[in-house]
Structure 1
Amino acid sequence: MSDALSPPPGTSPSAQQIAVDTRVVLSRLRRRLRELTGEESGMPAGQSSVLARLAREGDASSSELARRERVRPQSMATIVAALESAGLVARRPDPVDGRKQLVALTERGRAHREESRGAAHAWFTRALDERCTEEERQTVLRALALLATVADAP
């Protein structure tokens, strides 16, 4: 049985190290950005994540949201209830199956999401400006272009 982190045969040591380091750094960055969107609004990360998913993917049933967020349906019911009581989401009948209810962002929910995204963007921009030289920022841009190519690999 092979180790889940064992590199594919024939890959270079540098590719192996880049793969590990990139995953670690991206995970830390993503966690920090998610914390910021919740911190700035005083909203728990689970609620912030559901708002982000609804903004990105559109209306969904509570059970769909639970599956996509990888939480128990009971936990999602609590999250949706909190968002609904804050006026950030509303339930509406599913046009295809009237027995189901869909969770949808309200205008207030959309505005809240945009404000949260703005806070994360401002932090990231400021951090890049304060922690990196112009030359380093240009290096990051080149690295991102390469990573975009890698992301499209089969």
Structure 2
Amino acid sequence: MTETRELSASAVRAAHEVRVVVGRLRRRLRESHQAGELTLTQTSLLSRLEREGPRTASELAAAEGIRPQSVATSTGALEERGLVTRRPDPGDGRRQLLTISPSGRELIDSTRAAREEWLAVALQERLTEDERGTVVAAMALLDRVTGR
């Protein structure tokens, strides 16, 4: 059972502002450079494999909160493009492990670099040095909110 708390107006406003701005920023970053015309699901699966290493389709489905059929369709398309590879699971030969390929890693790296470049240019053109320092400080505070 969750505890009912009285939330301050400033906490409610801050939560709203962060949610709205982070959503806008995510959309702008996505628009700034498409990951080789991949779908959002394909991009998410490829990124997860890059971050977490080889996974089975069932593990990916559970981690992404999507149906195994969606993972099968998306990973099939990624495999056709040479962005992921399949190999038997050494612990259970009946299962297949999906792994990001060197081409997939290159696509992820180039997409991230292009997005970060877009953001760096936008920050430099639209904010002062002091304002950029404030952004860095705000990111440290938001990271604290995430529990890291």
Normalised to the residue count of structure 1, the TM-score between the two structures is 0.84
In the aligned structure 2, how far is the partner of 1:56 from the partner of 1:36?
22
Q: Which runs of 4+ in 1 moved over 6 A?
A: none
Question: Paired residue for 1:10?
Answer: 6
Matched, 1:24 2:20: yes
Report the alpha carbon displacement of residue 133 of structure 1 after superposing the two structures with TM.
1.7
Report the alpha carbon displacement of residue 40 of structure 1 after superposing the two structures with TM.
5.0
Question: Paired residue for 1:71?
Answer: 66
Q: How does 1:65-144 map to 2 (within 5 A)?
A: 65-144=60-139
Report the alpha carbon displacement of residue 35 of structure 1 after superposing the two structures with TM.
4.3
Report the alpha carbon displacement of residue 36 of structure 1 after superposing the two structures with TM.
4.0
Q: Relative contact order, CA 8 A, sep 6+: which one is greater?
A: 2
Question: Over residues 88-138 of structure 1, what are the superposed CA-to-partner deviations in whole Å (9 max), with x where a residue is unaligned?
Answer: 101111111111001101111111111111111111111111221222111
Structure 1 pair 35–100 and aligned structure 2 pair: CA distance change class (3 A): farther
Structure 1: stretches of 5+ with no match in the other structure: 1-7
Give the AA of the match of 2:8.
Answer: S
Structure 2: stretches of 5+ with no match in the other structure: none
Normalised to the residue count of structure 2, the TM-score between the two structures is 0.87
Contact 1:40–1:119 (CA under 8 A) maintained in structure 2: no
SS in 1 for 2:86: strand
